[in-house]
Copies of this chain bind each other. A is one copy, B any other.
Amino acid sequence: MNSKPTAQDIEKAHDLVSAYINYTPVYTSESINKIAGAEIYFKCENFQKVGAFKARGGMNAILSLSDEDRQKGVATHSSGNHAQAVALAAKVEGIPAHIVMPSNSAKVKMDAVRGYGANLIECEPTLQAREDTLQEVVEKTGATMIHPYNDYYIIAGQATAAKELIEGVNDPLDYILTPVGGGGLLSGTSLSAHYWSPETKVIGCEPEGADDAYRSFNAKTLIPMVNPNTIADGLRTSVGEKPFQIILEHVSDILLTNDEEITAAMKMVWERMKIIIEPSAAVPLAVVLRNKEKFEGKKVGIIISGGNVDLGALPF
């Protein structure tokens, strides 16, 4: 795919991945609606395979490889959910996966990657070491590098979550909100809304301590993040070029929140909805609660991006 995914690309992605991923439920909470003064529909990707929406993109990228590329396997570097997504997709396809992970990655995530039968290569916890190690692996094995977000197949895969959300709600949503880290989920969501619910505005939600999407969106040019500092560990990356161009075209706004608000929103969902969501997944609800007047009386879709948290290190 050499340009932004079309409606047909996203439909094809959905057909490809459907057999391997969960069609996740859309949940509502009367008490949160009451607090927010809005009608919120939570698309629960915390119940997705590997505990995050990343399974969609990883699956689509690997199922879309040519037979020749497939045989040589896939490779990526990631400390988190994307590592598991690629490992799972490679296992399903029965092809080799080489996953470079920084040595300080959560043990539970490393175990999960190994559990899928992937070849896990530990490296120093720096971006340079991650990229160098991945480069070596790719040269040695001929494996295809699967980028976590700067890839149109990944974007088309992530777009399927919003497609399902739109299908699962009766009347059109006024807004769909997603967190924004590398931009794969936000850009894919904005495409699905554009194709299947054009009256719905898509808003990216970002922590103040990792506000590169906010600054880039307003400057209309990519400004990478330096020294991100936020509890939302999935959102510390900088937006990629391919998702950014889609975001500029199809996203209506990027709104900010802070760690205190993110923690409160996360706790609210745990207590009121009895579901486990990770800090990054709480960012959109935190944005709704910070901007009550904007969302008052509106139908708001929120993509709960994932549920992978270290229960031994909770912020409350």
Contact = CB atoms under 8 A, between A and B. Distances in A.
Interface of A: 25, 46-47, 51, 108, 267, 270-271, 273-277, 307, 311-312, 314, 316
Contacts of A312: 316
Contacts of A277: 274
A275 B51 CA distance: 11
A43 to B, nearest CB: 14
Contacts of A51: 274
Given A311-B316, A316-B312, A270 B274 contact: no
A29 to B, nearest CB: 10
A267 B311 CA distance: 8
Contacts of A311: 267, 270-271, 314, 316
Contacts of A25: 25
Contacts of A270: 276, 311
16 contacts: A25-B25, A46-B274, A51-B274, A108-B271, A270-B276, A270-B311, A271-B311, A274-B275, A274-B277, A274-B307, A275-B275, A276-B276, A311-B314, A311-B316, A312-B316, A314-B314
Nearest to A310: B271
Contacts of A307: 274
Contacts of A274: 46-47, 51, 275-277, 307
A47 B271 CA distance: 11
Given A274-B277, A276-B276, 15 more contacts: A25-B25, A46-B274, A47-B273, A47-B274, A51-B274, A108-B271, A267-B311, A270-B276, A271-B311, A275-B275, A275-B276, A311-B314, A311-B316, A312-B316, A314-B314
A98 B316 CA distance: 33
A276 B307 CA distance: 11
A32 to B, nearest CB: 14
Nearest to A306: B274
A161 to B, nearest CB: 15
